[in-house]
Amino acid sequence: MNPSKNKFTSTKHSGESFEYLYSEPEFGEKAPVIFYIHGAGSKGTDISVLENNPAWKAVVQNAGKKSIVVAPQCHANTWFDLYGVLTEFIENILQKNNTDRNRVYIIGSSMGGYTVWQLIMSHPEWFTAAIPICGGGMYWNAGRLKNVKIWAFHGALDDIVLPEESLHMVKAVNNAGGSAKLTIFPTVKHNAWDDALSLKETWNWLFQQEKKDSE
């Protein structure tokens, strides 16, 4: 499976655009959607860097045959510099007729992990489940995440993003009545995404998550 290379041009933010990778399964029914939000190592304007990102490859390998998989590329310093364009892009993808709005998933690592936490707080109504990896966020807003299932991952030896960032977020979500869990890999530094996305349990859990129409 070879995801296509595409360009999204904003209609709300004049002159803003970015490249993205996209593929959909061959069957014609509505399909789950997985957004992958990359970290700082894949930013820029060379889409091949994102194509070769091991985390993105893991998403395609494990989910590409049964879900729509989408990965935008950040050309700015951080995703927060393009945040309005990113949310516009996600909403645009979700409006496609082949998307199953009850099974919308988002995965992100490092800079992308922080972005995942922010996206699900900004638009909890869009997402069924999230996998933020070595990220963190505004835990005082965790009450907004009561209806989003979350499985966070972090390396215990991470000295770039401290594991306490994920601990704070998961604890806050659960204290607010949500459903979040955290796996900390005891011998892993910052790169927790290789281990997180290679676990069969990760993908089994993700695809089990489905919103009821009333949610």
- What digits encode the pLDDT tens for the residues 45-74? 999 999 999 999 999 999 999 999 999 999
β-sheet with 129-133: strand ranges across: 4-9, 17-23, 68-72, 31-37, 99-109, 129-133, 149-155, 179-185
Domain ranges of the chain: 4-208
181 forms bridges with which residues in the sheet?
151
Per DSSP, helices labelled H in the chain are 47-51, 54-63, 83-94, 111-122, 164-175, 193-198, 200-208
**pLDDT the model gives residue 28:** 74
d(CA 180, CA 187): 22
**Alpha-carbon separation of residue 196 from 98, 113, 118, 201 (angstroms):** 28, 13, 20, 9
Give the chain's end-to-end CA distance (angstroms, integer).
33
Residue 121 has pLDDT above 90, yes or no: yes
**pLDDT the model gives residue 214:** 46
Query: What are the tens digits of pLDDT across the range 15-32?
Result: 899 999 999 998 778 999
Among 153, 114, 150, which residue's Cα sits nearest to residue 129? 150
pLDDT band at 215 (very low <50, low <70, confident <90, very high): low
The CATH class that applies to domain 4-208 reads alpha beta
Is the whole model's pTM more than 0.75, yes or no? yes
**pLDDT the model gives residue 1:** 65
Among 122, 125, 135, 130, which residue's Cα sits nearest to residue 149? 130
d(CA 67, CA 30): 9
Query: Between β-strands 31-37 and 4-9, what pairing exists: parallel, antiparallel or unpaired?
Result: unpaired
Q: Please give the mean pLDDT across all residues of the chain.
A: 95
Tokens for 100, please give them: 């199953």
**pLDDT the model gives residue 213:** 63
Mean pLDDT over 99-111 rounds to: 97
Query: What are the tens digits of pLDDT across the range 1-11?
Result: 689 999 999 99
Q: What are phi and psi of 199, to 5 degrees?
A: -80, 125
